[in-house]
Amino acid sequence: MRRDPDPDRRVDRGGMVEITEKPSVGRRAVASGLIRLEESTVEAIKNGEVEKGDVLTVARVAAIQAVKETPRQIPMCHPIPITGVEVAFELLPDRIRATVAVTSVGKTGVEMEALSGVSAALLNVWDMVKSREKDETGNYPTTMVDEIRVVEKRKGKAGESFCPGSSSSSNGDPNGGHRRANDGSSRR
């Protein structure tokens, strides 16, 4: 390579973290978040009265797609072979909570994937009920996406390829969410 002997040249570096030599192990992360809505909107969702269709199924499909798209939405994320996505919704009087659990067998964690899924689920709920949430000026006095967080993160030991706790600690029992990862080094 022809090098230029210019003493002024500046080298600028950076990039996607090198994980080549990390072992592939089972991974699981669960994230959740909520969207605040008018009570009448939650009722309409419950009763299947929303004009644009089945709100929670559309949001679930969008969440699954968003999990798989994570390395495109978050540039520094590695492409990861996702092996499972579970999406759950809880309908409360004035809000809906979405919980997304993601599993993988790979070299890095999947919490960003779970967070992307939650965010997409909630934004799709919003999109489906826009006409019910707008006030007379076209704005949204109530609607807000809130409390998006990681509620659980685990990984298997090196050499194992199974995904720990993928069945016992389902995201259907979000109280289980505060259990800690079993390994402090679970870096992405």
Q: Which of residues 2-41 bind a copy of itself (CB under 8 A)?
A: 3-4, 6, 8-21, 26, 32-33
Query: Does the annotation flag 77 for ligand binding?
Result: yes
60 near a copy of itself (CB under 8 A): yes
119 near a copy of itself (CB under 8 A): yes
Residues marked active site are found at 127
Which residue from 68, 132, 158, 159 is in contact with a copy of itself, where contact means CB under 8 A?
A: 68
Q: b vs e for 111-129, b when ≥16 Cβ sit within 10 Å of the residue's Cβ?
A: bbbbbbbbbbbbbbbbebb
Whether the Cβ atoms of residue 81 and residue 60 lie closer than 8 Å to each other: no
Question: What residues numbered 141-160 form the site for a copy of itself, per CB under 8 A?
Answer: 143-153, 155
Question: What residues numbered 70-99 form the site for a copy of itself, per CB under 8 A?
Answer: 71-79, 81-93
Whether the Cβ atoms of residue 118 and residue 142 lie closer than 8 Å to each other: no
Query: Does the annotation flag 136 for ligand binding?
Result: no
